[in-house]
Structure 1
Amino acid sequence: MDNPSDQARFDELIHAPLRLRICASLAPVQWADFSLLKQNLGVADSVLSKHIKQLADAEYVRVERFAKRGHSHLRVSLTEAGRTAYVGHVAALREITAGEG
């Protein structure tokens, strides 16, 4: 897999603009708090929840609920499969934009 095109794979699920932005936000971190994602992406709870559910159903993200100071919180992370799909999708986009795809 030394050749980037070995990893390149266009992913319809990730390609949707908000889901791509979610994956891009999660890629550099271990976990992201739902409220921080919502704020950074500038979307409503329901919109973010819908897209996270689609990614979770595909096992691209892991969702964890926990209590902190008596309040319920939700955090999200990319799974190994999600990270692989995201990296492959970005590689495919690079090939397409470079005129190689």
Structure 2
Amino acid sequence: MKDILNKLDKAFENKVRLGIMSALMVNEQMDFISLKDLLGVTDGNLASHLKNLENREYIGYEKEFVDRKPNTTYRATELGKKAFKNHINAIEKLLSNR
């Protein structure tokens, strides 16, 4: 059991970061507003959790202007996808290990 617990990634213990990664695993990319609306969080809250995932290199971003307005899109990196899959696999093992 301890081996399984050690495979859980602290980056995904927070529900907002878990939601961000879940959304980015099933969508190639999402913009800030779409993530904010999906997760029902404030700008500042989302920005801080995105920064945490960026610092771990689990997500990447691209900034551009659309109709003279800034638009930032996010995507899961290969490292992030692998870490998230490992985290989910550990949860599944915990659930099946009765």
Structure 2: runs of 5+ lacking an equivalent: 1-5
**Normalised by the size of structure 1, how large is the TM-score?**
0.87
The size of the alignment, in residue pairs, is 93
**Normalised by the size of structure 2, how large is the TM-score?**
0.90
Q: Which deviates more, 11-20 or 82-91?
A: 11-20
Residue of structure 1 equivalent to 2:89: 91
Where does 1:1-101 land on structure 2 (aligned, <5 Å)? 9-99=7-97
Give the structure with the higher percent helix: 2
Structure 1: runs of 5+ lacking an equivalent: 1-7
Aligned-residue offset at 1:17: 1.3
RMSD: 1.4
C-alpha offsets along residues 33-90 of structure 1, whole Å, 9 cap, x if unaligned?
1100000000000000000000000000001111011110111100000000001100
